[in-house]
Amino acid sequence: MGNGDIYKIFRSKCKAFETISLRASPDESFRSPPKMPERDHRDHCLADPISYNMETILPLTPEQDFPINYGKDTLNQTTREPDISLKGLRHSAAHVLAQAVKRLFPSAQVGIGPATEEGFYYDFHFDRPFSPEDLEKIEAEMKAIIASRSPIVRRALSREEAGDLFSSKGEDFKLEILHGIPEEAEITVYDQGDFTDLCRGPHLSDTGEIGAVKLLSSSGAYWKGIESNPSLQRIYGTAFPTQKELDDYLERLEEIRQRDHRKLGKELGFFRTLDEKGAGMVLWLPRGARIRRVIEDIWKIRHDRHGYQYVYTPHIARLDLWKQSGHWDFYRDSMFSPMEIEGSEFELKPMNCPFHILISRESIQSYRDLPVRLAELGTVYRYERSGTLHGLLRVRGFTQDDAHIFCRPEDIATEIGKVLKLVDEMLLPFGFTNRSVYLSTRPEGSVGSDENWELATRALEEALRTAGIPYEIDPGEGVFYGPKIDMKFHDVLGRTWQLSTIQVDFNLPEKFDLTYRDASGKDVRPIMIHRALLGSVERFFGILVEHFKGAFPLWLAPEQVTILTIGRPAYSLCRENRPLPRGFGAQGVDRLQE
């Protein structure tokens, strides 16, 4: 039954019935129902929204309906090369910021001032926070320094000369940096006018080459990021070669502010965070919960098609489990403190994988039992410092779309290939067609044999190449127990979000002594594959809110039908018929308005 059919039903029931409004977002103005092409999966609505049928809105082969754009065109890249010229420009702008602050506030001590992906910052030790008025004065002074076209000169100094220089200036933080430089390393400073900074460079030849600058904000920070160290004032800014590029960037920042999921989530009634009753915890309101339900329904359907078995695991277990798995040793700082129950220490689960290992032992006996694919929308708890919490993107309690695959070593590439296909089937309908893919290799401090690492890395490479997916090598960024594939998706503003990850693990099966009997009767240890498609439901929802600016596709919107009436008799009649659209699967007939 389509939009027109429902309209005719209500029109025939009530002459005073005005219209049915189908909306992509609750803040969108009322309009007549759009004419929708029949079964056009390429449309963002994906299907007639009144027919809420997951088999209809989720095509079996989404890659045919949503073209995928990758960050690179080649099938293998070694590293990402940064834009050296822009990085040098912003690094030089950071030095100009420090020079301006020292001119206006001579008692301020300078810390560090690196270039970042979006701009630059500089840390200062000062007796008070910098006000917005301070930032305006500092920015004006920076522009004066840029206009002066002061040469930026590199000098090499001995350790003693550098020590005397910064001691005479009272720059204690620079002296600490100097003492941390290896004995064999060259020590260099950069001079620009009346300012000298300890720095390796590179920099522009003079301040006039910097172009356009803008100071954005200031905040508190700790020296070297350690809470027990002195508190500093950090000033953020950005710089571009031309004013037009800067203006375009500032316009983009304003658009990002308008899309902030914390702002929209409150305005649209999606969720609340328990800032006073439990920071980092989320309350899902009915409208947000409806969207979450759709996301989870899609997730379940996709996993059904790929042969996963659903499991449910406890939120708490004895601390011994996390010690056996190794999480207590490697992730203790990100775990909540244990609690004592009847003389034993218990721990809120930070991850689902140890439980999945225990479940797999119940079903894996022979090679004929493999592969085993276990999936769970499991809530986990991790300790995040209060200063790092950020809406739904950084929380303390969240639901992972978690799954673990147990397979034979020779089947790693095949199983990884299936996961890569599942990533497309899950994420493409939500509009994430632009992505970058990275293969992260063995880090320092890893566990396992060279043979296992080589086997797993080759399998990941084989799966990516077989799927025709361009990727880059991210050296040394694998997890301690195995290599991984990270998939970073780009939203409508070009921002990058880490979503899907696929990790090979030969460590946990060994810690839990997990084995199966192969065709020759020999006990063999299976390979464990960790994988998440969304990362977490909370974070994915926050990203979706910003991606769509709250105006969700009609099939995903929390409210799809609103009945407008004129007069009390019409209201009463429509109230009696209100359940009718729900019977046809409408996402929500939430409001009946007189």
pLDDT digits (tens, 9 = 90+) for 248-280: 999 999 999 999 999 999 999 999 988 777 889
Taking the CB of residue 431, how many other CB atoms lie within 10 A of it?
Answer: 17
Hey, which residues are catalytic here?
353, 382, 400, 402, 404, 484, 530
- pLDDT above 70 as % of the chain: 83
Cα–Cα dist 211/219, whole Å: 25
The whole-number pLDDT of residue 38 equals 38
The DSSP output letter for 276 is T
pLDDT of 414: 95
The model's confidence at residue 433, banded by pLDDT at 50, 70 and 90, is confident
Tokens coding 510: 């060994």
Q: What are the φ and ψ backbone dihedral angles of 548, each rounded to 5 degrees?
A: -95, 0
Q: What is the mean pLDDT of residues 412-432?
A: 93
The whole-number pLDDT of residue 567 equals 73
Give me the pLDDT at residue 11, please. Answer: 43
Q: Model confidence at 594, in pLDDT bands (50, 70, 90)?
A: low
Per-residue pLDDT averaged across 189-212, rounded?
94
Residue 343 CB-density burial (10 A; 0-12 exposed, 13-18 middle, 19+ buried): exposed
Q: How confident is the model at residue 293 (pLDDT cuts 50, 70, 90)?
A: very high
Cis status, amide bond into 202, omega within 30 of 0: yes
pLDDT (tens digit, 9 = 90+) per residue, 369-394? 999 999 999 999 999 988 788 999 99
Q: Is the pLDDT of residue 296 over 50?
A: yes
Q: What is the mean pLDDT of residues 136-153?
A: 96
Report the alpha-carbon distance of residue 481 to residue 477 in Å, rounded.
Answer: 11
Q: Which of 76-90, 147-161, 318-332, 467-481 has the lowest mean pLDDT?
A: 76-90
**Arithmetic mean of pLDDT, 38-45:** 33
**pLDDT cut 90: percent of the chain above it:** 67
Q: Does the structure show a pLDDT above 70 at 559?
A: yes
Smallest CA-to-CA distance from 454 within 483, 478, 414 is with 483
| pTM given for the model | 0.78
Q: Please enumerate in sequence order all residues whose Cβ is within 8 A of that of 512, keeping only pairs 6 or more positions apart, or say none.
A: 324, 325, 354, 357, 358, 361
What local confidence, expressed as pLDDT, does residue 571 receive? 73
Kindly report, residue by residue over 81-115, the tens digit of the pLDDT: 344 589 999 999 999 999 999 999 999 999 999 99
Cβ(322)–Cβ(328) under 8 Å?
yes
**How many residues are listed for the chain in this entry?**
594
pLDDT reading at 149 higher than 60? yes
- Distance CA(427)–CA(298), nearest Å, equals 10
The residue-averaged pLDDT of 529-539 equals 95
- The residue-averaged pLDDT of 529-549 equals 95
Task: Please say whether the beta carbons of 592 and 578 come within 8 A.
Answer: yes
- Number of Cβ within 10 Å of residue 84's Cβ equals 9
Domains of the chain and CATH, by start: 3-57+561-593 (no CATH), 84-257 (3.30.980.10), 267-313+352-548 (3.30.930.10)
Least reliable range by pLDDT among 231-235, 245-249, 449-453, 588-592: 588-592
> What number is the average pLDDT over the span 286-306?
95
Residue 54: band (very low, low, confident or very high) from pLDDT cuts 50, 70, 90: very low
Is residue 245's pLDDT more than 90?
yes
Separation of alpha carbons 354 and 329, rounded Å: 14
Give the residue-averaged pLDDT of 225-246: 94
Report the C-alpha gap between 344 and 367 in whole angstroms. 37
In one-letter notation, the amino acid at residue 508 is L
- Do 211 and 93 meet the contact criterion of CB atoms below 8 Å apart? no
Please give the mean pLDDT across all residues of the chain.
Answer: 84
pLDDT band at residue 578 using 50, 70 and 90 as cut-offs: low
- What band does 564 get if pLDDT is binned at 50, 70 and 90? confident
Residue-wise pLDDT for 466-496, tens only, equals 999 999 999 998 888 889 999 999 888 888 8
Over 50: is that where the pLDDT of 586 sits? no
Q: Are strands 372-381 and 282-284 parallel, antiparallel or unpaired?
A: unpaired
Give mean pLDDT, residues 354-374: 94
- Of 42-56, 276-290, 429-443, which gets the smallest average pLDDT? 42-56
pLDDT higher than 80, residue 514:
yes
What are the residue ranges of helices labelled H in 428-552? 450-466, 508-511, 537-548
Lowest mean pLDDT among 78-82, 145-149, 426-430: 78-82
Give the closest residue to 15 by CA, choosing from 562, 561, 560, 574.
574
Which residues share a beta bridge with 213? 239
Under the banding of pLDDT at 50, 70 and 90, the label for residue 41 is very low
Pairwise CA distance, residues 308 & 422, whole Å: 11
